[in-house]
């Protein structure tokens, strides 16, 4: 199903936010939609909104409704380009997914899949973008 920036805006407002919570949205086409000004705190990950930039891509769910890496080549290129630009603005930033910001429930220093609050981005962003 196609999901537009306007749909995201509507859905986030219906959830009680005053606007879409992500700073950028990248649909399957790979077009980069700026959604929220960078100077405005996001509303995309509890506990980390004030010190993070939220990037969302269309997809992440298989045809069967299960979490899956469904990124198109255009999305992969757009994400990489955007992240390279953001690292110039925020050189000390660490690139992670929502799942990497879940609480370490068992206190072992590792956030394992059974502790993930969200499974997105459905790929290991920390590993994939470690060399940026």
Residue 17 CB neighbours (<10 A): 14
- Tally of structural domains, the chain: 1
Q: Which residue has the tokens 């969302």?
A: 56
pTM to 2 decimals?
Answer: 0.90
Sequence-ordered alpha helix ranges (H) in 15-103: 73-89
Q: CATH number of the domain that 63 lies in?
A: 3.40.80.10
Do residues 8 and 20 touch, judged by C-beta distance below 8 A? Answer: yes
Q: Which two tokens stand for residue 123?
A: 């790929």
pLDDT tens-digit readout, 53-110 = 999 999 999 989 899 999 999 999 999 999 999 999 999 999 999 999 998 999 999 8
Maximum Cα interatomic distance, the chain, rounded to a whole number of Å? 41
Quote the domain boundaries for residue 63. 5-128
């Amino acid at each position: 199903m196609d999901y537009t920036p306007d749909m995201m805006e509507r859905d986030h407002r219906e959830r009680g936010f005053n606007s879409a919570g992500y700073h950028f949205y990248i649909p399957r086409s790979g077009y980069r939609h700026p959604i929220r000004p960078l100077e405005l705190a996001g509303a995309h990950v509890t506990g980390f909104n004030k010190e993070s930039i939220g990037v969302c891509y269309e997809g992440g769910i298989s045809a069967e409704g299960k979490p899956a890496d469904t990124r198109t080549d255009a999305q992969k290129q757009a994400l990489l380009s955007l992240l390279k630009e953001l690292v110039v603005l925020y050189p000390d930033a660490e690139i992670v997914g929502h799942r990497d910001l879940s609480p370490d429930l068992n206190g072992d220093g590792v956030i394992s899949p059974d502790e993930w609050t969200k499974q997105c981005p459905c790929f290991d962003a920390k590993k994939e973008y470690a060399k940026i």
